[in-house]
Structure 1
Amino acid sequence: MTAVPAPRQPQPPDFTGGPQNPPDITPVFALKELVSRLHREQNKIQDLLSSLGFALRSFKNLNQFLELTPLIASRVTDADGGALVLFKPNGQMRLERLHCQDNSCQDIRVAIETATRQLAANSPTVNSQTGTYGKIMPQFSNRTAALDYHVNATLGPAVHLFGTAILTKNVERGRLYVFSRDPEYTWTETRQKLVRLVADQTAVAIENDELTVELRKKERLDRELEIGAEIQLQLLPRQCPKIEGIEIAALCKTANRVGGDYYDFIPANYDQFRKKHARTESDKWSLAIGDVMGKGVPAGLIMTMLRGMLRAEVLNAHSPSRILQHLNHVMYADLENSNRFVTLFYSEYDAKTRTLSYSNAAHNPPLLWQAATGTLKRLDTLGMLIGLDMDSKYHEAQVQLNPGDTIMYYTDGFTDAANQNGERFDEENLARHFQWACRHCNSPQIILDYLFNQVQQFIGADRHNEDDMTLIVMQVRPDADQNRG
């Protein structure tokens, strides 16, 4: 007889979808495999985001980072690719980067570029603050809504598209799109969060790049200001001249590194400048002090121009009033459209006669303390600002100086210096302190230091004056007549 085979025992369900599970595959094992796969997926996402963070910290070139943005966004979401669109300050849009895993995303490129071109053509003006299109495209509240609509309409339902904003300081700077052609693909909340995270990192990279550019511009400007300050410092007198019977002290403190205050000592004999090691002694000297309206580099440039022109005029041996008139004629064309003007007090001192001749172009009149009477006198003449009116007329005057007489030339940085309550030092305070110093201080340098200290105490020891401050103190030596004898 032929043996009848025993009936087959029923098998457990097949969880793998195959025809027959091996004996060791159980529901518990399948669950463990699922957890392990999810764990690997999580580690992959963490590695990708860590790589993006490393790039953010390390890359010095923004374009290198932007290359990674759509790539990382698509990989952390298991999508087919990504696209980065950036918005320009003028409202224009541009497809900056496009990534596809299978290199077949020509339709995506066409859709985005078509949308950006259409928006540019139909909406040439955009509110730079809100991004709204106003009356041009009233159906869309902003450029983002318009862009999303046109891209989705062009691609159709076959492409699952998700877009998120790239924001810096609450201003939308672009749009990050990620897409998939998989019919079963869904944009879960987790995937959307991952795309937003990549977009936020991109926004940080863009802002960092802009800050770096601004920092480099500032560094270049700082260096240019340093060069300007060095040049201006070299143009101001390095030391006070030696004038028979006279002592002089001078100081200029600029509010910025390049200032608009100007002072100069010019000998009547220009041969003194040609002899490098010669003593700067002369019987006749010009003393000038001026102020360019404003401060910083523009004021410094005008001051430099003024210095050169004034020295050329002195060389021609004109009178003080004629020198100011010539300066006004020459500088008028340059200052007319600059909205900047110059105040200038110009004086000439003759050491043999102790006579000071002067002319004023609307500058703060110097104060003369007369030792014999202990009184103050303002040295002033009629005259307009240089550069205000080409036909301005300037007048001049003379004063006889005696031993002990002291003159203070100053700019309005002293009188306009304000304390924390907004009160100004004013001319009355300056005159009072100057008069006290002339009685109690025995040299121009001590008088100068005393006046600067008084102003600093007035505005506050820890505060910086907002305007340039320049001071010249010239004193006829009390023993001048004895030295002559």
Structure 2
Amino acid sequence: MSNKPYISDSKESFKNFSEQSSPYESLRLLLDNLSKEQKRNQELLASISYVLRSFTNLDRFLEFIPVVVSRLVGVKGTLLIPFHIDGTVSIEQIQMVPLNYSESLINEILNFPLGHERGFGSDPNRLKELDKLIQSFILNSPFFVTSVVARGKERGRLYVFDLNSPFVFSNIHRRNVQLVADLVGVAIEYDLLFQQIKYYESVERQVSIGGEIQSQLLPDHCPVIKGVELAAHCRPAFQVGGDYYDFMPTKPELTGKAKEGGRWALVVGDVMGKGIPACLLMTMLRGMLRAEVLTGLPPDRILHDLNQLALDDLSQSHRFVTLFYSDFDPESRKLRFANAAHNPPLLWRSKQKEIIRLDSLGLLIGLESEAEYVCGEVLLDYGDVILYYTDGVTEAMGLTGERFNEKRLIALLDESARKFSKSQEILDNLFYRLDRFVGINHHLEDDASMVVLKVQNQ
């Protein structure tokens, strides 16, 4: 399509013909010209509608607008000034005909300080200053301006003028220009929605990838360990987190009953942060930790060495890891443990019917190079229950805005341990009560992971 505006010559044709024709013929010519002009305008508006239905590039669509408006109204000047979503002038999207005037005017707009301020497009007083700037550039030429609006927000300004002739804008001209401005508003809003869809699709892909990584980190089943029952589950949040738990034999070369009766490491942790980066860091920690377990060192030395190994990678990512590491000897029923600032597991004593916290001093993994950790130990009795968990459980928010908190978790563990005899039953009840607290149709803010270990009765 040519960039040269269409200038209607119907008046001149009618004048020349009327000097040589009867009144009847003059009237017929006038009606024919009006019919042709109406048909042409309909075709121009239809062309905009067609492009709007099929466009995939907003910039190309905006290039098309000034040319169509010039032909639609029959003037030689049209200027379209779109606004960014924050209300500032979108210099790179300004479109104008005739082209030989556009560069100098765009430079004027570029140097217009108000146009670079956030919220400019929503301030009527500042918009009037822009209108004055445009009017001063076209001097005394006929001038008409309308807003480009979508969903009640100013998305731009559309100016129509004629630089070289006295032109009178009729109501029909104004309605046609406003119709085009409304279509431009629809196009800009459509593009914004399209960009949002692309963004959310990207986020969804990241969440999906992160979910796959996280699912591969977590064991797909609990191992068989002599004298205890295990149950574990991670309830993922809307956003992928960095929750991690694992069960590792300290002597993986053993098989069968020897492996079941050997010492096992039980660990639960959480990388601060969410998304794929947290999952990747936990993948790295998992590999390092599994290598450390093979050394057979006590829990405090395991965490010390793990901190030394992971410090550089964690400090560069500005993330830290909480980790509770324990190992269990089925023969003596002794549990040794060390804590790197993780939520202390809860131990329900079957004889005393009371709950204690398994905690020991220790800093986050990745915080300080010389961090030291303390090894604690406890002798488990028949029927005892240990609950390992991440902060996504206690920090879960209920319908009233209250947190689930540790106090509530302790009460529910006591209730569940008294009521149910199987570790899986205890775990299921805890998650059931957590879901009721959060609300069935509400997402968790963070992953919630729980591991239940119950010492079998004699």
What does residue 55 of structure 2 align with?
59
Contact in 1 for aligned 2:62/2:93 (Cα 8 Å): no
| Distance in 1 of aligned mates of 2:93 and 2:301 | 66
Q: For residue 392 of structure 1, give the secondary structure of its aligned residue in structure 2.
A: coil
Report what 1:18 is aligned to.
Answer: 19
Provide the residue aligned with 1:129 in structure 2. Answer: 119
Residues 446-485 of structure 1: matches in 2 within 5 Å? 446-479=425-458
- Partner Cα distance (2:112, 2:158) in 1: 23
C-alpha deviation, 1:290, in angstroms = 1.3
Q: How far apart in 1 are the matches of 2:346 and 2:174?
A: 76
The yes-or-no answer on 1:291 pairing with 2:270 is yes
After the TM superposition, which of the residue ranges 330-339 and 421-430 deviates more from structure 2? 330-339
1:363 match: 342
Change (3 A) 1:20 1:399: closer
Q: Equivalent residue for 1:105?
A: none
- Given that 2:75 and 2:161 are in contact with CA atoms closer than 8 Å, whether structure 1 keeps it comes out as yes
Letter of the structure 2 residue corresponding to residue 226 of structure 1:
S
Structure 2: distance between partners of 1:150 and 1:57 = 36
Shift of 1:19: 5.1
* 1:350 alignment partner, one of 308, 325, 329: 329
User: Structure 1: which amino acid aligns with 2:91?
Assistant: M
Alpha-carbon distance, 1:270 to partner: 3.8
Identity of aligned residues (%): 40
User: Contact 1:115/1:147 (CA < 8 Å) preserved in 2?
Assistant: no
Alignment partner for residue 209 of structure 2, among 202, 218, 227?
227
SS at match of 2:138: helix
Which residue, 343, 351, 362 being the options, matches 1:372?
351
Code of the aligned partner of 1:211: L
**Relative to structure 1, is the Cα distance of residues 377 and 173 closer, same or farther in structure 2, using a 3 angstrom cutoff?**
closer
Q: Which residue of 2 aligns with 1:267?
A: 249
The Cα of 1:196 is off from its aligned counterpart by 2.6
CA contact (8 A) 2:120 2:127 kept: no
User: Secondary structure of the residue that 2:388 maps to in structure 1?
Assistant: strand
Per-residue Cα deviation, 1:406-461 (whole angstroms, up to 9, x for no partner): 21111222223332222333323222222232222121111100111122223333
From the superposition, tell whether residues 424 and 175 of structure 1 become closer, same or farther in structure 2 (CA, over 3 Å).
closer
In the alignment, the residues of structure 2 paired with residue 392 and residue 188 of structure 1 have an alpha-carbon distance, to the nearest angstrom, of 81
Alignment of 1:258-407 (within 5 A): 258-271=240-253, 281=260, 283-336=262-315, 340-407=319-386
Aligned partner of residue 359 in structure 1, secondary structure? strand
CA change 1:128–1:169 in 2 (3 A) is farther
Deviations 1:222-251 (A, max 9, x none): 112211211110111111111122210000
Change (3 A) 1:223 1:283: same
TM-superposition CA deviations, 1:248-273 (whole Å, max 9, x none):
0000112134122111111112447x
**What is the Cα deviation at residue 220 of structure 1?**
2.5
Q: CA deviation at 1:16?
A: 6.0
From the superposition, tell whether residues 463 and 98 of structure 1 become closer, same or farther in structure 2 (CA, over 3 Å): closer
Match for 1:246 among 228, 235, 239?
A: 228
Conserved 8 A contact 1:232-1:300: yes
SS in 2 for 1:287: strand
Mean Cα deviation higher: 385-394 or 235-244: 385-394
Q: Residue by residue, what CA displacement relative to the aligned partner does 1:289-345 show, whole Å, maximum 9, x if unpaired? A: 112334333433332232222222223332211122223334444444655432211
Question: Which one of the candidate residues 62, 67, 70 is aligned to 1:71?
Answer: 67
Q: Tell me if the contact between 1:287 and 1:348 (Cα under 8 Å) persists in the aligned partners.
A: yes
Aligned length in residues: 441
Q: 1:40 and 1:280 mapped to 2: Cα distance?
A: 92
1:203 has 2:185 as partner: yes
After superposition, the C-alpha distances for 1:190-243 in whole angstroms (9 at most, x for unaligned) are: 213322321221222122123212312321221122112111101111111111
| CA-to-aligned-CA distance 1:135-188 (integer Å, 9 cap, x gap) | xxxx986773365145314xxx5x655444434556655444444466353222
Distance in structure 2 (CA, Å) of the matches to 1:356 and 1:407: 11
Aligned mates of 2:257, 2:69 — CA distance in 1: 76
Larger radius of gyration: 1
Structure 1 letter corresponding to 2:131? A
Q: Distance in 1 between matches of 2:160 and 2:350?
A: 87
SS in 2 for 1:352: coil
Q: Which runs of 5+ in 2 are unaligned?
A: 1-14
Distance, in Å, in 1 between the alignment partners of 2:300 and 2:337 is: 8
Task: Indicate the SS of the match to 1:430.
Answer: helix
Residue 116 of structure 1 corresponds to: 106
Q: Distance in 2 between matches of 1:18 and 1:261?
A: 90
- TM-score (norm. length: structure 1): 0.80
Q: Residue 7 of structure 1 corresponds to which residue in structure 2? A: none
Give yes or no for contact 2:114–2:126 (8 Å, CA) kept in 1.
Answer: no
In structure 2, how many angstroms separate the alpha carbons of the residues matched to 1:62 and 1:34?
39
CA distance in 2, matches of 1:335, 1:437: 38
1:396, distance to aligned residue in structure 2 (A): 0.8
Q: CA deviation at 1:113?
A: 0.7
Say whether residues 1:216 and 2:198 are aligned partners.
yes
Alignment-mate amino acid for residue 180 of structure 2: V
Instruction: Name which of 91, 94, 110 aligns with 1:93.
Output: 91
2:130 pairs with one of 113, 132, 144: 144
Amino acid of the structure 2 residue aligned with 1:263: Y
Does structure 1 conserve the Cα–Cα contact (< 8 Å) formed by 2:231 and 2:451?
A: yes
